[in-house]
Structure 1
Amino acid sequence: MKKFQILALLFLVSIVNAQKVQSPSKSLTVNFGLDNEGKPNYSVTLKDKKVVNQSFLGLKLKDGTDFTKGFTVENSNTSTFDEVWKPVLGEQSSIRNNYNEFVINLIQKKSEKRLTIVFRVYDEGVAFRYEFPKQKDLNYFIVKEEKTEFNLAGNHKTFWIPGDFDSQEYVYNETLLSEIDNEKLDLNNGIGVKSIPGKYAVQSPLMMKSSDGLYINIFEAATVNYPVMHLELNPKTFGLTSILAPNAIGDKAYLQTPCVTPWRTIMVSDDARTIVSSKMTLNLNEPSKIEDTSWIKPMKYVGVWWEMHVGKSTWDYAGSQNAQNTETRELIASGKHGATTENTKRYIDFAAKHGFDGVLVEGWNVGWEDWFGNWKEDVFDFVTPYPDFDLKAVNDYAKSKGVKMIMHHETSGSVANYERHLDRAMNLMKQYGYPAVKSGYVGKIIPRGEFHDGQTMVNHFNFVAKRMADNKLMVNSHESTRPTGYHRTYPNYIAAEAARGNEFNAWSNGNPPMHETILPFTRLLGGPMDYTPGIFEIKMSAYDKTKKEQVHTTLAKQLALYVTMYSPLQMAADLPENYEKYPDAFQFIKDVAADWQDSKYLEAEPGDYLTVARKDKKSERWFLGAITDENARTSEIKLDFLSPNKKYKAVIYQDGKTADWEKNPINYEIKTMTVTSKSKLKLVLAKGGGTAISFEPIN
């Protein structure tokens, strides 16, 4: 009888130790188990195709605790979750969150230490995280390293950038997994600070395509009180292991039970549109912690910004020589300062005339003369304007025109300094009615020894979002960690940069034509991006005949980016005078919405093309954006997303017959036609080109 009980118990343990959980449609399967050393592991299958081979899980702590082996399953349970929730701002007005959950409570018999692993399986992907319950011998602890594995089933085509703890502002590489090697890259690409931990380190989100047609994306969600996850590749086995940015003394994360890590995510589908339209990252974040969200609104803006990048003006007041009056120590104006009262009023007039919500002004405050590259601590105080910028006069003028001013806080990477001044900076914003701030983190971080992607900085970016929310202010961060859906929890975190933006086209080797076809499959999975589209004067030789730099798109593609690159904060980034040259094309930027009722991804292939249609949240108007890479493209799309039994006026902004991103980028044409939901449209995109369409119901 006793022997029978032992055999029965072993049989029960073997069932618990090798458990399967499937997605709601049963197409995606996760197998979890413990090997004979008590190592937790998992594998992932889509239908009959292996996505992730057996991969091990766990962490190691600084005190010697090894949470990678020696476990038995204490208990486990499964459940199903299905809800529909409404984002404050977004690509659609409602989002379904439907998954099957598997919770495994593990225990190490010798130490009686416990670890919980939670899996959530969606139809488009798998998410899992580590949870540390409150327990007797584990309270405050330090993570030494995380040992999460993603052992891929093949040598996939991969869209990747180096795993840099300080920057995501890289051009994407398109190679096989086995060909990833940071040492083969030309890193002379306009990035000022680089911190790459190894030749095989890559960043997530990592987008891949298998030889048998699977689209696979490895990323994370809800990165809170923990470093950003990068990945270390084994080019021979195609295995990836998580790596975390350390702090100044080499520790990865300081935690206290009960606590959780961010979700590790694996999206997979045989349709690229499923990946690019997924809301899994958002769904894995906590609901909004802001009760009254009525003050969080989409914005379209112009600003004193691009003119600095093209060399027309400067951020600093006194010039690179930091000229001073030797007697009074006052700065002497260089004559090229962009953020003057007079110049700002010109942008305000332009915004008011064309119906834009706001005006951004960079370089308005003292401190820009000599900080870059010097790792200085006390550079900006965020409240003192330069002598030629009358803060009150500018804001009074904007108010009289019905335009909001957008604040700019460049921190110079001195986070300690910014946090010291943050409350005074926010008080100034509230005093003058600024609804939003664009923050910047150019340069090495202070406290010295910290990285942009470390736990300290993740906490800082989230802290700023919380403090801004307390003061009913919106924030748009640049040079920050890339978002992982935290804008669901704090929807005032309206946008971020955190990737290689449009400005690199003005003064570096730029962004190749495929760049914007990859970002929606990578960076934008975590949240809206302030990419600053809308550049009409494509070639920089227009400002200086010796310059060879240019934007690597056609003008029509710049219009299409307002639809394909989602953000509720959209900038018409070019100079007012350049828009005045092409008022017919500028009309699309004026018309296009920034907050959406619905979005339909009609065509998608990472690195090649993307076509998206979106419905304005406040009207029956639809907008479509189609973009391509360096190759010309023709396609036919159905307009069945339009409401049936209605006629629409379609205004089509497309590449001209001789358009080419390099040879003839400003060649475009506009045509108007009447369409219905039964219509089909032929799209003809030039090399590096695009098409933008507005659909307005005909009453």
Structure 2
Amino acid sequence: MSQLTLTRKIALLFFICTAPIMVFAQTITSPDKNFTAQFSLDANGVPLYQLNYKGKAVIKPSTLGIEVSKGASFMDSFTVTNATQTSSNTTWDPVMGEEKTIRNNYNELVVTLAQAKNNNRYIRIRFRLFNDGLGFRYEFPKQADLSYFVIKDEHTQFNLAGDHKIFWIPGDYDTNEYAYITSKISEIPGLQKKATIEINAQQPIPNPSVQTPSMMKSADGLYINIHEAGLINYPAMSLNVEPGFKLSSHLTPDAVGNNGYMQTDTQTPWRTIVVSDKATDILASKLILNLNEPTKYKDVSWIKPVKYIGVWWEYFVAGKSTWAYGKENNVKLTDDFSKLTPNGKHGATNERVMRYIDFAAKNGFDAVLVEGWNVGWEDWIGNWKEEVFDFVTPYPDFDVKKLNAYAASKGVKIIMHHETSASATNYERRLDRAFQFMQDNGYNAVKTGYVGQIIPRGEHHDGQWMVNHYIHVAERAADYKIMVNSHEAVRPTGLNRTYPNWIAQESARGTEFEAMGGLAPEHTTILPFTRLMGGPMDYTPGIFQTDLTYYKTGGNQRVNTTLAKQLAYYVTMYSPLQMAADLPENYERFPDAFQFIKDVAVDWDNSYVLEAEPGDYVTIARKAKGKDEWFVGSVTDENSRTATVNLNFLPKGQKFTATIYADKKDASWNKNSQNYEIKTVEVTSKTNLKQFVAPGGGFAISIRVKK
């Protein structure tokens, strides 16, 4: 026997002895054949899966399982009783979105697993493999020996192929409003303390962990995004960071330490893995939306995109105005608020709101958000109070009927604001009365807020109880034909398909943090790859005045972008709800730049991700819904660059006029940030624009058919 043959036999023997023994395995491929996913059982009946993309390992063999409290777990001792493969290739039209029509094309494997030791109790694991990645979930059919059970933990593993670069925020049960850290996976434990900065009502996970969507890039050029879809009646998932580049599911517990209460027939949310060797494909993915159920609303005609302004940003600028009407502390809802001593700086007054309505009407905006209109703002922050707001009683200087009549006469809506003070129990008790009040007074949209520690006490923003609460609010709002924009809520998972009146969410570090320490220039080059993977964000862009004085400290603060970058957000940060967040007087100072905000669409027929690299830059073009108008936005990090804008998405054989709003050469995020220039050029589908982007800057382009 040759030495080579002997070496091969030894190597084969070593592999057989060290590899798990599989008693069942089945493979599916994506429709385009780029992905292969394999499900298997090892010799102990433990379920495993793995995922490859173009021959490269994305997820190495990883365990699956659900641990049950006070009962037999769904972890091992399984046998396969059935395995079926099917395919689907359909299209559907979202009520609002980045695309008029979305293709839903996948191959599916459904494996039925039984446990003989538990009277053949069975579950299913359903895999859907798309051309952009994998989704899978656990399903628990109704059966004689399985009805109610409590989840102690979910043991879904993501065994990664290497020490990838990762863009992450620390795991937390109550807030998504951390700043992003970029590091290697192996560096996360050492950076966890630094990343976990102080935020209101936070509850960090003690062991090394990250939140989803979690964006990674491998050394060999694969972009990998892990998240979840269809988060209903289940706690949100973070990811434990384990040795050997392993991530595993970490569910948000409830007040008594349980992770979920289940009753068959039921299922978990989908676990999603979006993968490509092109960063642009990650942003173009519709996998998460496709895994959500279609809406059951019979009438969606009342759900419409909204461009709005608001009595909001002035609360963050020192000395301008306040949410509260009075000066007193120890205020109760039963008090006579007309007897409060006015503080002289209340923002939501009849006079001020009417000025905002006039500005909205003059400039073509749909609505005006008014915060601080209702009694209760005097002393609730920092006090874990049950009944702070009743959602129907205005302050003495806010006349609900007068203002809504005035807004209606101008063709403008007022957006209601319901700050719940995180007392979800109080909000649910008053919900129908509050929505009836809105309907009676002409409101068709509400911004909800959940600032503070959740009541019922011990529950978390991302736990099962609150997940069900947010959905209940959306469903109940639909009964009154009301759209919902939730802040401080669980991060989105594509449920805007199922509940299209849940029009947007915050659920990340948004513009308000520009007045509370600032946002890094790279922040909005990361958000499209993380937070926005789950759904539209109410980021509240459009700040033109970049030097601020923060309302709490009086200290100097600046918005860490150029003015032109603020314009770009209306394209790069998708939402059918877009705010021009600055004060009207600041827009009046820059009317030529403000023109882009007035013109830009908020609902789209098509979107084109032209170039992207997480943490560095994003350039996106979109076609306005039902119009021959196109808009382009581009943002960068702290480094200047030259962007490439290939206009081959334009109809061929026509000429167009492009208006470019761009940084001047001397502009940057921290110097001369208001220096911009506007130029008009003729373009066609053959045009390849090269455009300078300043450090921390951006540009915006509007394109119309040449007259």
TM range (shorter): over 0.9
Residues 1:456 and 2:459 are matched in the alignment: no
User: Is the deviation greater in 193-202 or in 468-477?
Assistant: 193-202
Name the amino acid aligned to 1:118.
R
- Indicate whether 1:332 and 2:341 are aligned: yes
For 1:323 and 1:441, the matched residues in 2 are separated by 20
2:556 aligned counterpart, secondary structure: coil
Aligned to 1:396: 405
Q: Is the 8 A contact 2:60 2:160 kept in 1?
A: yes
The answer to whether structure 1 residue 210 and structure 2 residue 218 are counterparts is yes
CA distance 1:576–1:233, change in 2 (3 Å): same
**TM-aligned CA distance change 1:471 to 1:544, over 3 Å:** closer
CA distance in 2 between counterparts of 1:26 and 1:323 reads: 64
Asked if the contact 2:550/2:557 (under 8 Å) is kept, the reply is: no
**Who is 2:623 aligned against?**
615
Aligned to 1:283: 290
Q: Is the 8 A contact 2:316 2:551 kept in 1?
A: no
Aligned equivalents of 1:277 and 1:58: distance in 2? 31
1:264 aligns with 2:290: no
Task: Name the CA distance, whole Å, in 2 between partners of 1:658 and 1:409.
Answer: 43
Per the alignment, residue 247 of structure 1 pairs with 254
Q: What is the match of residue 568 of structure 1?
A: 576
The alpha-carbon deviation at position 322 of structure 1 amounts to 6.6
Residues in 1 aligned to 2:276 and 2:337: alpha-carbon distance in whole angstroms: 67
Residue in structure 2 matching 1:165, options 150, 161, 173: 173
Distance 2:267 2:129 in 1: 18
Alignment check: 8 A CA contact 1:227 1:453 kept:
yes
Consecutive unaligned residues of structure 2, counting only runs of 5 or more, are 1-20
CA–CA separation in structure 1 for the residues paired with 2:97 and 2:666: 36
Q: Which residue of 2 aligns with 1:103?
A: 110
CA RMSD of aligned residues (A): 1.7
Match of 1:45 among 46, 49, 52: 52
For the 8 Å contact 1:440–1:477, the answer to whether it is kept is: yes
Compare 173-182 and 53-62 and name the one that shifted more. Answer: 173-182
Following superposition, the deviation at residue 549 of structure 1 comes to: 1.4
Give the AA of the match of 1:381. D
Structure 2 residue 362 is matched with structure 1 residue 353:
yes
C-alpha distance after superposition, 1:430-487 (max 9, x if no partner): 1111110000000000000000000000000011111111111100000000110111
User: Secondary structure of 1:561's partner?
Assistant: helix
Q: Match of 1:380?
A: 389
Distance 1:198 1:542 in 2: 32
Q: Does 1:73 align with 2:80?
A: yes
CA contact (8 A) 1:322 1:331 kept: no
Q: Matches of 1:69 and 1:544 in 2, distance apart?
A: 55
Aligned-residue offset at 1:539: 1.2
Q: Measured at CA, do residues 231 and 320 of structure 1 come closer, stay the same or move farther in structure 2, by a change above 3 Å?
A: farther
Kept in 1: contact 2:169–2:195 (CA 8 A): no
The structure-2 alpha-carbon separation of the partners of 1:456 and 1:546, relative to structure 1 and needing over 3 Å to count, comes to closer
- Alpha-carbon spacing, 1:36–1:542, altered in 2? closer, same or farther (3 Å): closer
Structure 2 matches for 1:87-98, cutoff 5 A?
87-98=94-105
- Among 510, 514, 527, the alignment partner of 1:501 is 510
Q: Which position in structure 2 is the counterpart of 1:8?
A: none
- The reply on whether 1:301 has 2:301 as its aligned counterpart is no
Tell me: CA distance 1:542–1:581, structure 2 relative to 1, closer, same or farther (3 Å). farther
Q: In the TM superposition, what whole-angstrom CA distance separates every residue of 1:330-372 from its partner, at most 9, and x where no partner exists?
A: 2110001101111100100000000000000000000000011
Query: SS at the partner of 1:540?
Result: strand
Aligned residue in 1 for 2:496: 487
Structure 2 length as normaliser, TM-score? 0.94
1:143 alignment partner, one of 123, 126, 151: 151
Displacement of 1:15:
9.2
Distance 1:81 1:184, change over 3 A: closer
1:113-192 matched pairs, under 5 angstroms: 113-181=121-189, 184-186=192-194, 189=197, 191-192=199-200
Distance verdict in 2 for CA 1:505–1:566, change over 3 Å: same
Superposed CA offset, 1:543-583 (max 9, x none): 99963311111000000000000000000000000000000
Q: Note if 1:596 corresponds to 2:604.
A: yes
Q: 1:31 to 1:187 in 2, by over 3 A?
A: closer
Shift of 1:674: 1.0
CA 1:72/1:177 → structure 2, altered by over 3 Å: closer, same or farther? same
Distance in 2 between the 1:653 and 1:151 partners? 45
SS at 1:67's partner residue? coil
Alpha-carbon distance change, 339 to 322 in structure 1, aligned in 2, over 3 angstroms = farther
Letter in 1 for 2:44: E
Q: What is the distance in 1 between the residues matched to 2:553 and 2:68?
A: 58
* Distance in 2 (alpha carbons) for counterparts of 1:358 and 1:328: 28
Match of 2:15 in 1: none
Amino acid at match of 1:488: R
Partners of 2:530 and 2:382 in 1: CA distance: 29
Q: What is the CA-CA distance between 1:37 and the residue it aligns to? A: 0.5
1: CA distance, partners of 2:554 / 2:52? 55
Partner of 2:443: 434
C-alpha distance in structure 1 between counterparts of 2:336 and 2:615, whole Å: 58
Per the alignment, do residues 537 and 138 of structure 1 end up closer, same or farther by CA in structure 2, a change over 3 Å counting? same
Could you say what secondary structure the match of 2:557 adopts?
A: coil
Check whether the contact 1:182–1:201 (CA below 8 A) recurs between aligned residues.
Answer: no
Tell me, what secondary structure is at the counterpart of 1:75?
strand
TM score, norm. by length of structure 1: 0.96
Partner Cα separation in structure 2 for residue 697 and residue 590 of structure 1: 18
**Matched residue type, 1:418:** Y
User: Do structure 1's residue 422 and structure 2's residue 441 form an aligned pair?
Assistant: no
Residue range with higher mean Cα deviation, 644-653 or 591-600 = 644-653
Whole-angstrom CA distance in 2 between matches of 1:581 and 1:199: 50
Gaps spanning 5+ residues in structure 1: where? Answer: 1-13
Matched, 1:227 2:235: yes
Q: How many residue pairs end up in the alignment?
A: 683
> What secondary structure sits across from 2:62 in the alignment?
strand
Residue 474 (1) aligns with residue 474 (2): no
Q: Percent identity at matched positions? A: 58
